[in-house]
Amino acid sequence: MKPVPLPTPDTQEWFDRIDAGELTVPRCTACASMFLYPRISCPRCGARSVELVAAAGHGVLLSFVVNHRAPAGFDAPYALGVVALAEGPHLTGVVRTDRPDLLEVDAPVRVAFEERGERRVVCFDLAEGNS
């Protein structure tokens, strides 16, 4: 079985929204900075006034690696990518494609979700016309 992240009290709401099929991005209500990973205080200004806002659901592939030796639960080859979300923060996740050898930096991607037992995790699909 593929691994799933374990929420902490500070990240529980973020993971609950992912389980509901919604990606959110933490935003500081004091300085408007958006960031990932979720935390209780802003990494830019230190304010402890953070809210979760809905993400647009798309971004650009900044970097990726194609793994040819898969850990338990994964099929090789598979791609792991760093995506710049439309909101600015970067998020790492599996890039789902039948042809990881054809991936390119700057490829547009869209947010998707993968069921893993009772949880969902964020992953990415190539945007239409780029698969």
Q: What is the pLDDT of residue 128?
A: 79
Written as six digits, the tokens of 55 are: 């993400």
Q: What is the pLDDT of residue 129?
A: 66
Asked whether residue 130 carries a pLDDT value surpassing 70, the answer given is no
Domain boundaries, the chain: 12-126
Half-sphere exposure of 60 (CA within 13 A, CB side): 6
| In contact, 64 and 128? CB cutoff 8 Å | no
pTM: 0.92
Give percent of the chain above pLDDT 90.
90
Residue in the block written with tokens 């408007």:
32
Q: What is the pLDDT of residue 125?
A: 98
Q: What is the CATH number of domain 12-126?
A: 2.40.50.840
Task: Please write the tens of the pLDDT for every residue from 27-76.
Answer: 999 999 999 999 999 999 999 999 999 999 999 999 999 999 999 888 99
CB environment 99-130: b (16+ within 10 A), e (fewer):
ebeebeeebebebbbeeeeebbbbbbebeeee
Sign of CA dihedral 8, 92, 80, 17: positive
